[in-house]
Amino acid sequence: MRSFVYLDEYKMYSLSSQLMEGVTDFVLKEARRASSDVEEQEGPVNSGKKMAEIIESTSSSFEKKFLHDYAYSIFEAKLLEEDKIKEFCSSASFGDFDLGDGGARIVKIKAKAKLIDAAATVRSLETLVDMQQCLSILSANDERAALISELLEIQAGSKSQKTSHLLAELARLSKPQIAKEIIANDKLHYENMAKTLSYGYKSRLDVFMQLSDCVVSADLKRVCLKDEEDFIVKTYSRVSDVDLVLVGILTRVRPAPIGENDSGTDSIDAEHLMDSDNMNEILMRASQALHGLEKMFTQLDSNQVILDPIAVYVDL
């Protein structure tokens, strides 16, 4: 059994239809076969019929989800049967991945994973300085409580020097213990960092798996998540304690050689960008400049493998 975290249903059905020549009929046929097998076993006769009814009925969203999950089980079994998927574990190495002719392009990797949420990171950076001030005030709560207790012990109406000192100290501890200049500079830094990451990564949600000498990553579509992002993070953590299974299509397995396309033509030259009356040439220059900027965010690290994800789940 599988507990799905992510399933790209369109991609799964697209590949299944090519693999099985019409996935819908195949799934329903398998469902009926499973129903027949269950009825032949000892136990309640109607149990198999109920399962077939769930799979064949698509009148509600929940029933459709059951169909998708069941269809994936058949899809992966068929990939294994046809030897069209290659399996890896956390001990796999970079050299095991091959995009050459004859190599399996669909891979299944089982390892612990990290979830990197660009949108959540940007939101955190935008509020980071305010949170630092809040934490500064919270950390001084015990000192404030002690001062308040001491003030209450002094007789009402007393205007002694000690009372004035305690009140001044209480006022100081009720404000952020960070200089205004530092706060202003930090806000400027984090706000611009957030804008840069927002431009480069948009609202990407990536899953990373560390293998023996390489990293496998995939950009997940949020609409294909089985639950809300917050629930997934609370359930599995941003760094999982259990092994997740990532199934996807190999797209990139090695970075470009160092120095390639580093002639300076990729840089953004706003001064000369419009130095032409030919709109096609302006478009080409702008596109090349955009490519240079985007390389800051899309350049692969050494020994990094990129997948186009189909499913992420936990084996049960």
User: Cα separation of 37 and 49, whole Å?
Assistant: 11
- Picking from 216, 204, 250, 230, the residue whose alpha carbon sits closest to that of residue 112 is 216
- DSSP letters along 110-146, please? EE-EEEEEHHHHHHHHHHHHHHHHHHHHHHTHHHHHH
Q: How many CB atoms are located within 10 Å of the residue 107 CB?
A: 21
Walk along the chain (316 residues) and give the pLDDT tens digit of each residue. Answer: 899 999 999 899 888 888 877 655 555 555 555 555 545 544 455 444 444 454 444 444 555 666 788 889 889 999 999 889 999 999 998 888 876 666 678 999 999 999 999 888 888 888 888 887 888 788 888 888 887 777 776 755 556 667 777 777 777 777 766 677 788 888 888 888 888 888 888 888 999 999 998 999 999 999 999 999 999 999 999 999 999 999 999 988 865 455 544 444 455 555 555 555 667 776 766 777 666 666 776 677 778 899 999 999 999 9
Predicted structure pTM score: 0.68
